[in-house]
């Protein structure tokens, strides 16, 4: 994945008529296919090839520009998101999860993923409108910048027992959930 692009020099001095200079604005280089880049790459361009005939490069200005593409590999990492860390929306009294942790595979560039741990991910499940019984519910994840989930978004199985009072949807959010051991 390309994480940065730099060029040197950052500008070139040109001379020509005022009209030619005003119409120039910037120099556009050829597109580069970066799909096969697996490491940092440099590409050098001859500036003369990209200038209109009405402009010339000033002698003290470099005649070439070097573009550097910084490449970082995408890395996958598996984490175990604790059920106890989930935020529960809707009614959570009488809700029991069948799992203690949820496996989540994430992906990011090498310089980002090394510092990511399960507690950097915020998970939420919404029980609003669910009735007594066993349900598979999606887990909404809020991930750090630059991090994505690999594959299908996670779900978890939850058993709701004891009946839900009519005001269940109005109850505040909770982080206190019961695991399978009843704790």
- What's the pLDDT at 164? 44
Domain closes at, from 52, 71, 90: 71
Selection from 16, 126, 114 nearest residue 72 by Cα: 114
At 163, is the pLDDT very low, low, confident or very high (cuts 50, 70, 90)? Answer: low
| Residues 88 and 50 reside in one and the same domain | no
Question: In terms of domains, do 115 and 135 share one?
Answer: yes
Domain with residue 8: its CATH number is 2.170.120
Query: C-alpha distances in angstroms, 176 versus 50, 99, 109, 119?
Result: 64, 15, 34, 16
Task: Kindly state whether residue 140 falls inside one of the protein's structural domains.
Answer: yes
Q: How many domains does the chain have?
A: 2
User: Is residue 109 in a domain?
Assistant: yes
* Same domain (yes/no): 121, 49: no
> Are 126 and 62 members of one domain?
no
Q: Are 39 and 71 in contact (CB under 8 A)?
A: yes
pTM over 0.75: no
Single out the residue in 28, 49, 71 at which a domain terminates.
Answer: 71
If you average pLDDT over every residue of the chain, what do you get? 85
pLDDT more than 90, % of the chain: 46
pLDDT in tens, 3-37: 899 999 988 888 999 999 888 878 888 899 888 88
Pair of tokens at residue 111: 């310089």
pLDDT at residue 134 above 90?
yes
Q: Which range has highest mean pLDDT (25-39, 125-139, 161-175)?
A: 125-139
Residues 38 and 99 in one domain: no
Does residue 14 sit in the same domain as residue 58? Answer: yes
Give pLDDT, residue 177.
46
Q: How far apart (Å, rounded) are the C-alpha atoms in residues 146 and 139?
A: 19
Does 180 fall in a domain?
no
Are 103 and 135 members of one domain?
yes
pLDDT at 170 over 50: no
Q: What is the pLDDT, as a whole number, of residue 68?
A: 95
- State the residue range of the domain holding 113: 74-170
List, for residues 121-130, the tens digit of each pLDDT value.
Answer: 999 999 998 8
Which of 71, 87, 103 is where one domain is finished? 71
Q: How far apart are CA 91 and CA 132, in angstroms?
A: 11
**How many residues does the structure list for the chain?**
183
Pair 79, 67 in one domain = no
CA nearest 116: which of 107, 125, 128, 124?
107
Q: Residue 58 has which token pair?
A: 């000033």
Cα distance between residue 118 and residue 81, in whole Å: 5
pLDDT in tens, 66-101: 999 999 888 999 999 999 889 989 866 778 898 999
Q: What is the pLDDT of residue 80?
A: 95
- Tokens standing for 31? 């597109």
């Amino acid at each position: 994945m390309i994480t940065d692009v730099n060029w040197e020099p950052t500008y070139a001095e040109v001379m020509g008529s005022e009209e030619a200079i005003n119409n120039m604005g910037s120099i556009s280089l050829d597109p580069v296919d970066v799909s096969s880049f697996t490491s940092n790459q440099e590409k050098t361009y001859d500036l003369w090839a990209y200038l209109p005939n009405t402009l010339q490069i000033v002698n003290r200005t470099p005649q070439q520009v070097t573009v550097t593409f910084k490449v970082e590999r995408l890395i996958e990492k598996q984490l175990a998101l604790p059920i106890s860390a989930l935020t529960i929306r809707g009614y959570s009294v009488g809700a029991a999860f069948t799992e203690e942790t949820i496996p989540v595979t994430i992906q990011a560039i090498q310089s980002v993923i090394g510092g990511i741990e399960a507690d950097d991910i915020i998970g939420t499940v919404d029980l609003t409108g669910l009735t007594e019984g066993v349900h598979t519910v999606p887990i909404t994840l809020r991930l750090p910048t630059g991090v994505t989930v690999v594959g299908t978004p996670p779900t978890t199985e939850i058993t709701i027992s004891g009946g839900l009072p009519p005001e269940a949807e109005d109850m505040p959010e909770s982080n206190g959930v019961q695991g399978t051991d009843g704790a």
